[in-house]
Amino acid sequence: MKKTTLVLALLAALLPTTLLADSNQQISFSKQWTYAHGAIAGQVSEIPAFDSRSNTLWVAGVIGVDVLDAKTGALLAHIDTTAHGSVNSVAVKHGVAAFAVESASRTSPGVVLLYDTKTRLPSAGINAIQVGALPDMVTFTPDGTRLLVANEATPYAYGTRIGTTIPYEYAPSANDPAGSVSIIDMATRSVIATAGFNGVPTFGSNLRTKTGMDFEPEYIAVNEDGTKAFVTLQEANAMAVLDLKTNKFTRIVGLGAKDFNLPGNQIDPLNDGIVSFGSHKAKGLYMPDGIAAYEWKDKTYLVMANEGDFREDDKDRTAASTFGAVAPLDKMRVSNADSSTGDLYAAGARSFSIRDEAGNLVYDSGDILDKKAAELNIYDDGRSRDKGVEPEGVALLDIGDRTYAFVGLERTLKSAVAVFDITNPRQVSYVDMIVTDGDVSPEGLAAYQYRGDFYLAIANEVSNTTSLYLINKLNKGHHH
């Protein structure tokens, strides 16, 4: 190993571990209410959005949107979207709620529906806008002038394997609509551009392009001045940068891989009923789901939840034993489109990361999420061979002069949201883990300020509940 490489490896090894100690508690949390979404059969708690004009939470989930009183948690209205298809996401700005709805035939164009948050009726004027196939996520630019839609465009059937060479390679799918981002102008309520990926230059490493599917946008974050959007391409292990002046993608960045053999990056690869973390000769592809943007010293940083994801049919997923791995790595699920003997790549990094605009890694939480869950006895060992605690959603909130990240963990025994102080992306500290009895599997988070108070709403898919926490600021006037 060259000396420079060694120094870099040591630095990388130190990155996640230097800050394992809990920072002195700056904020605490008190649960306000939990709402169980059982009233309308088929309604699921997936993605929450807050409307400050009416103090309501809009919770999207498959058959429609439940509108809850944010003060009491009472159900105010259920909006049925089944006439258009399944609702995947909701965003609220300036009294307008936008729903992303996939078509009954999901490879066909989807639709964005606009609702008035006061009347809870379809918005006056144009209120249904056709977008790309399988719109999976929707977000407004900070000033509300535009609405961005991540059209994931997942096929029904994927490409089949080509030959027997390892790593495996897959042919393109027969009917795979192109992934894209629809850009809607809110003044005219029309799609002014559909940004696609043809001919966009690629950078970085470990970009997955041989899985039998094209680039599929998962989640979108927009910088503060609304000039750029950053889009996670989860299954491709990539991020795409969208220029909102030209409405075109400028780059696709492969996000690399995380070395589970480095100190501070330990994993438990075995679902044997025993929680046992160690350093192992394997890597994890980051494959982020949720993404959020914030600023530090006039630069934009991106916070990503590194969930990991295989194809829906799992054909690109294989036990590591296929590639000669022996216990305790033999049962670990790895990507057969990336792995070969002695070079294993799992899906997901069991962490959250902070990156700069170019996609360079600034911070990674290492093994903090898995280990904190284990400390609290909520680590699900059954998930050890496959993505660990599975960080999925992320929400950010400025409280005083600090910026906090809330990271939802999809696969813990009880609903868990990890809290970090990320004010300075190079000096991140773990603050707390919010664990809610009775709730399971946070899918979406909404952090917001209302009349001087701070809140976190958690939509839990498996327990089909939405819970609201009040965030209390401690030792006011205290600065680091």
Q: What is the pLDDT of residues 7-59, one digit of tens each?
A: 444 444 444 433 334 445 689 999 999 999 989 999 999 999 999 999 999 99
Of 316, 358, 361, 315, nearest in space to 335 by CA? 316
pLDDT above 60 (res 168): yes
Q: What is the mean pLDDT of residues 243-251?
A: 98
In a domain, 472, yes or no: no
In a domain, 332, yes or no: no
Phi, psi of 38 (to 5 degrees): -95, -10
pTM recorded for the entire structure: 0.94
Q: What is the DSSP letter of 462?
A: T
Q: What is the pLDDT of residues 72-97, one digit of tens each?
A: 999 999 999 999 999 999 999 999 99
At residue 24, the pLDDT reads 55
- Residues with Cβ < 8 Å from 458, sequence gap 6 or more? 48, 408, 415, 417, 434, 436, 439, 442, 444, 445, 466, 467, 468, 469
In a domain, 197, yes or no: yes
Of 436, 476, 478, 426, nearest in space to 459 by CA? 436
Of 383, 384, 317, nearest in space to 345 by CA? 317
Which CATH number goes with the domain that contains 174? 2.130.10.10
Written as six digits, the tokens of 190 are: 């029309």
Of 421, 400, 405, 416, nearest in space to 23 by CA? 421
In a domain, 140, yes or no: yes
Residue 85 has a CB neighbour count (10 Å cut-off) of 21
Q: What is the pLDDT of residues 367-419, one digit of tens each?
A: 999 999 999 999 999 999 999 999 999 999 999 999 999 999 999 999 999 99
Q: How many domains does the chain have?
A: 1
Note whether 309 and 245 are within 8 A (CB). no
In a domain, 350, yes or no: no
Q: What is the pLDDT of residues 85-134, one digit of tens each?
A: 999 999 999 999 999 999 999 999 999 999 999 999 999 999 999 999 99
Note whether 468 and 50 are within 8 A (CB). no
In a domain, 195, yes or no: yes
Q: What is the mean pLDDT of residues 459-468?
A: 98
CA distances from 73 to 38, 60, 373, 416, 435 (A): 14, 15, 28, 20, 19
Written as six digits, the tokens of 208 are: 């997955």
- Domain with 132 in it: 81-255
Q: What is the pLDDT of residues 187-204, one digit of tens each?
A: 999 999 999 999 999 999
